[in-house]
Amino acid sequence: MRLLHSPLPAEWATLGWLFLVPFVVQTLRRWRSWPSLRGVQEHLWLAGAVVLAWLWTLQVRTVEGAAFGLIGSALYALLFGRDWARLGLLAAVAVHTALGGGSWANFGVNGALLALVPTALVGVLQGLLERRLPKNVFVFMIGNGMFVTLAVTAITSLSLVMASWLLRPAAASADQVAYALLLAWGEALASGMLFSALVIFGPHLVLTYRQDLYLPPRRGAR
């Protein structure tokens, strides 16, 4: 998570912006076609972005100086879908950069790693589960809440580690991969429980959940 604050070489910062801007433009062009957020959904979306911006300030440093923390991008994308989550995560990166002393030059790289990568992975894995597995509410909760969250969080964490290695090759250590995967496992467990609870008690808050698909009415029920 050092990328939020450490200055990047100019060429890497420029490359990050060049990669991010087309996705932002594409996202904003499709904005009017998205399902609208209503009431509590909108409040949760805004609150989630603020909570994530704060969550990224809570980091643990290893003996080697590497910094690790909870990411939360996977759960956020599972709740709001690719497009709304991408926009909210970019807003969270902006809030954290403005209030947490981050580097605006790094915004392109940070936005790509914390917003584009996890939302794209969630969209792909959710589609794969929907096509390959039975349409069942328990499959939806466990498959997405546990396995998708674990895979996306692990890949995002490893991406951050690899990018940090490119930034500081001298500080590269295989132990950082172990730390990242261990933290990803714990985050997946916590996110999976929270996701399942929301699907059960507040299904209207999970935009990726379709009750007509995963919990259709029984035959003969009135």
d(CA 41, CA 206): 8
CATH code that applies to domain 2-19+37-209: 1.10.1760.20
Nearest to 56 by CA among 156, 181, 177: 156
Amino acid at 42: E
Tokens of 7: 């200055």
Encode the chain (222 residues) as per-residue pLDDT tens digits.
Answer: 555 666 777 888 888 899 888 888 888 887 777 778 888 999 999 999 999 999 888 877 765 556 677 889 999 999 998 889 999 999 999 998 888 777 788 888 889 999 999 999 999 999 999 888 888 888 899 999 889 999 999 999 888 888 877 776 656 667 778 788 888 888 899 998 999 999 999 988 999 998 878 877 666 544
Tokens of 45: 């979306």
Extended strands (E) in the chain: 59-61, 67-69
Q: Where are the domains of the chain?
A: 2-19+37-209
Question: What pLDDT shows up at residue 46?
Answer: 94
3 state SS of 102:
coil
Amino acid at 60: V
List, as one string, the DSSP characters of 132-160. HS---HHHHHHIIIIIIHHHHHHHHHHHH
Tokens of 145: 């809440």
Tokens of 28: 């904003």
Number of residues that make up the chain: 222
d(CA 104, CA 166): 19
Q: How many CB atoms lie within 10 A of CB 31?
A: 10
